Amino acid sequence: MAFAPSPIPSRTQYVLEAIKHDILTGGLRPGQALVEAELAARFGVSKTPVREALKTLAGSGLVVMNQYKGVTVRMVDADMARAVYDVRLLLEPEAVRRAVASGAPLDEAREALERAAGAEDPAERSLANRAFHRALYLPCGNPLLGRMLDEVRDQAALVSTVAWAAVPSWEREAAEHQEILRLAAAGDVEGVGRAVHEHIASFVERAFPQSPLISE
């Protein structure tokens, strides 16, 4: 008999989401140390939920656990960015094609773009952009494909946070998002797939021009 995994305790989930938010919005920088005692004091909890949250974040690739250096926010370099975005290039255009071919509604994607356009800071804009991409690929009809993209979603967001700090190209990306949405609304399955591929590839090439993507 199969058993469902136990849900994450509420305190651990709270700490997990708070730390993840700080990492993905630049509040915690790559390489920054994450000290259990300091985080426990900050969130008003014991070290146990902090420790469990950090283990989960390590599993998703946002933090690194080292026996000697402790826990730090993952550093972003060209190799890491190339690997993450190569997975997106292999999977996301096809997922979006399938979602558009199935006639999936685009309301959530439109709302995400509106939030991004009205964002008052890079953190809010980054979260809205993540929601836009997920709204397009998740209705692909293959839950495993959606989960695979979700697994690299946080790492991709970490890459974009670092890249935007160095190369603030969000205006160009906003225009590309609008074109992707236009093609999706028109039901242009192949066109939207190409646009998503070009959008993903061009971003990492601008941010890390020294290293071409694997799939090119």
User: What tens digit of pLDDT does each residue of 112-157 get?
Assistant: 999 998 887 777 888 888 899 999 999 999 999 999 999 898 888 8
Mean pLDDT of all residues in 82-89: 92
Assigned domain for 212 exists: no
Structure tokens at 131: 């929601």
**What CATH number is associated with residue 106?**
1.20.120.530
Q: Which of 54, 73, 92 is the last residue of a domain?
A: 73
Query: In this model, does residue 7 exceed pLDDT 60?
Result: no
pLDDT level of residue 90 (50, 70, 90 thresholds): very high
The band of 2, judged by pLDDT with boundaries at 50, 70 and 90, is very low
Residue 31 reports pLDDT greater than 80: yes
Shared domain check, 14 and 108: no
Query: Do 69 and 97 reside in the same domain of the chain?
Result: no
How far apart, in whole angstroms, are the C-alpha atoms of residue 85 and residue 202? Answer: 10
Last residue of a domain, one of 29, 46, 73: 73
Check whether residue 64 and residue 82 sit in a common domain: no
In a domain, 180, yes or no: yes
Range of the structural domain that residue 19 is part of: 10-73
Clarify whether residues 64 and 144 are in a common domain: no
Would you say residue 211 has pLDDT above 80? no
Lowest mean pLDDT among 31-45, 115-129, 159-173: 159-173
**pLDDT recorded at residue 1:** 39
Domain annotation covers residue 5: no
Count of structural domains, the chain: 2
Considering the chain, what percentage of its residues have pLDDT values greater than 70? 90
Q: What pLDDT is stored for residue 210 in this prediction?
A: 62
Residue 97 has pLDDT above 80, yes or no: yes
Q: Read off the CATH number of the domain in which 50 is found.
A: 1.10.10.10
Of 210, 58, 209, 82, the C-alpha closest to 156 is 82
179 and 88, same domain (yes or no): yes
60 & 144 share domain:
no
